[in-house]
């Protein structure tokens, strides 16, 4: 069967799994693990991506990555190729280290993402590499310790991850720890069952997801919606749509909505587009690609605009009213 193309783009979330060939170990000691983590960090910095969850096992790796300007395949080729060469040189071996291509699964749903964060970070405990959730909170080769504030790897986009579990870091850590504890005390891995079920219904092939493999699983009673999701729901119910937001931002900033939608880059239109990008993605929880199409720019352009938009919105006191558009 021919390989299918991976669906990718700036800002897209992927659950990436890398396995050793013939299930062999890809890490022999902490030096190897540190080498791999350093290379992940280097690729994220160079490509403008981010990591939302990770864990290193003996013969495989889990990464939850948001791509930046560098495509996922390009990033993983550099990461795996560079690490394999360094590993072979250090351990005086030759030949393939990894099993075929890496696997990747698209993640577009916040509820699914939260389950995935828990599943990935519980892997070392499930495999008895640590003996308790408290020990996992100190384990240096998983992102959970970083989230709990006890690790110095700084690989995660920590604030973004914690925002899915609470409105403040302290609240988020307590909610995440309690939710992790619920799964850790269970004799069955419900998270893995849910993840695999979602993938199978999407028709995922062994070599990677098909173009329409978009994970949209909604867990029942797993975790309450975050504060940001509740606010987004209230704003949408009050009548805030992307089109309404564009027109409203243009009025506030004296910009031409036609020019904003056409991608024109004059000062006023660029500022209005930036404010739209941050309010649409942060407050209305809309996909970056949708905002990019509506404002006549690329996904990378919309991402950069959103970074500027946060400053513009704060400086001008611009925020969405939950009572609805004026």
Same domain, 245 and 158: no
Look at residues 325, 237, 240, 246 and name the one whose alpha carbon lies nearest to residue 293: 246
Highest-confidence range of 59-73, 150-164, 190-204, by mean pLDDT? Answer: 59-73
Domain presence at residue 114:
yes
Same domain, 104 and 150: yes
pLDDT band at 5 (very low <50, low <70, confident <90, very high): very low
Same domain, 21 and 46: yes
Domain presence at residue 223:
no
Q: At what angle do helices 190-201 and 110-126 cross, to 10 degrees?
A: 130
DSSP state letter for 58: S
Last residue of a domain, one of 215, 240, 269: 215
Q: pTM here?
A: 0.61
The two tokens of residue 89 are: 């040189």
Same domain, 203 and 251: no
Is the confidence at residue 112, as pLDDT, over 60? yes
pLDDT value of residue 216: 31
Contacts of 244 (CB under 8 A, 6+ apart): 325
User: With pLDDT > 70 as the criterion, what percentage of the chain qualifies?
Assistant: 81
Domain presence at residue 247:
yes
pLDDT value of residue 210: 30
Same domain, 122 and 31: yes
Is the confidence at residue 215, as pLDDT, over 50? no
More confident residue, 201 or 41: 41
DSSP-derived secondary structure for 190-220: HHHHHHHHHHHHTT-BTTB--TT-EE----S
Span 29-77, pLDDT tens digits = 899 999 999 999 999 988 888 999 999 999 999 999 998 888 899 999 9
Same domain, 260 and 131: no
80-95 mean pLDDT: 92
Q: Where in the sequence is the domain holding 154, given as residue range(s)?
A: 13-215
The two tokens of residue 19 are: 């396995």
Same domain, 135 and 245: no
Last residue of a domain, one of 215, 245, 273: 215
Same domain, 169 and 271: no
Domain presence at residue 159:
yes
Mean pLDDT estimate for the chain: 82
Domain presence at residue 5:
no
Q: What is the CATH number of the domain that holds 236?
A: 1.10.1750
With beta carbons less than 8 A apart as the criterion, state whether 102 and 18 touch.
Answer: yes
* Least confident segment among 117-121, 150-154, 218-222, 270-274: 218-222
pLDDT value of residue 47: 85
pLDDT value of residue 68: 85
Is the confidence at residue 83, as pLDDT, over 90? yes
What is the number of structural domains in the chain? 2
Same domain, 162 and 279: no
Same domain, 64 and 21: yes
pLDDT value of residue 195: 56
Same domain, 196 and 312: no
* Least confident segment among 51-55, 151-155, 186-190, 248-252: 186-190
Same domain, 269 and 177: no
Span 260-300, pLDDT tens digits = 999 999 999 999 999 999 898 888 878 777 888 899 988 66
Domain presence at residue 8:
no
Q: What is the CATH number of the domain that holds 128?
A: 3.30.70.1290
108-128 mean pLDDT: 89
213-217 mean pLDDT: 32
Last residue of a domain, one of 215, 249, 282: 215
Domain presence at residue 325:
no
pLDDT value of residue 1: 41
The two tokens of residue 306 are: 């959103």
Quote the strand ranges of the chain, DSSP E. Answer: 13-19, 50-56, 60-66, 103-107, 214-215
pLDDT value of residue 273: 95
Is the confidence at residue 87, as pLDDT, over 70? yes
Domain presence at residue 326:
no
């Amino acid at each position: 069967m021919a390989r299918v193309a991976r669906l990718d783009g700036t800002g897209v979330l992927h659950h990436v799994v890398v396995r050793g060939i013939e299930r062999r170990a890809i890490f022999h000691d902490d030096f190897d693990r540190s080498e791999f983590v350093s290379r992940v960090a280097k690729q994220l910095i160079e490509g403008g991506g981010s990591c939302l969850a990770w864990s290193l096992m003996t013969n495989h790796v889990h990464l939850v990555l948001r791509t930046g300007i560098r495509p996922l395949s390009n990033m993983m080729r550099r990461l795996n190729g560079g690490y394999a060469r360094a590993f072979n040189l250090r351990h005086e071996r030759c030949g393939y280290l990894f099993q075929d291509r890496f696997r990747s699964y698209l993640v577009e749903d916040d509820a699914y993402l939260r389950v995935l964060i828990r599943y990935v970070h519980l892997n070392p405990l499930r495999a008895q590499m640590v003996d308790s959730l408290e020990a996992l909170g100190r384990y240096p080769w998983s992102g959970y310790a970083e989230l709990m504030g006890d690790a110095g790897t700084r690989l995660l986009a920590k604030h973004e991850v914690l925002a899915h579990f609470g409105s403040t870091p302290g609240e988020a850590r307590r909610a995440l720890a309690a939710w992790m504890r619920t799964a850790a005390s269970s004799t069955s891995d419900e998270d893995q069952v849910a993840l695999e079920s979602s993938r199978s219904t999407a028709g995922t092939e062994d070599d990677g997801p098909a173009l329409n493999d978009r994970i949209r699983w909604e867990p029942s009673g797993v975790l309450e919606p975050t504060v940001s999701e509740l606010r987004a729901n209230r704003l949408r119910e009050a009548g805030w749509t992307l089109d309404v937001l564009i027109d409203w931002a243009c009025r506030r900033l004296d910009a031409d909505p036609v020019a904003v939608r056409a991608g024109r880059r004059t000062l006023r239109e660029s500022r209005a587009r930036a404010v739209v990008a941050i309010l649409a993605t942060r407050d209305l929880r809309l996909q970056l690609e949708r905002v990019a199409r509506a404002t006549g720019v690329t996904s990378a352009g919309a991402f950069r605009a959103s970074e500027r938009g946060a400053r513009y919105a704060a400086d001008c006191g611009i925020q969405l009213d939950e009572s609805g558009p004026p």
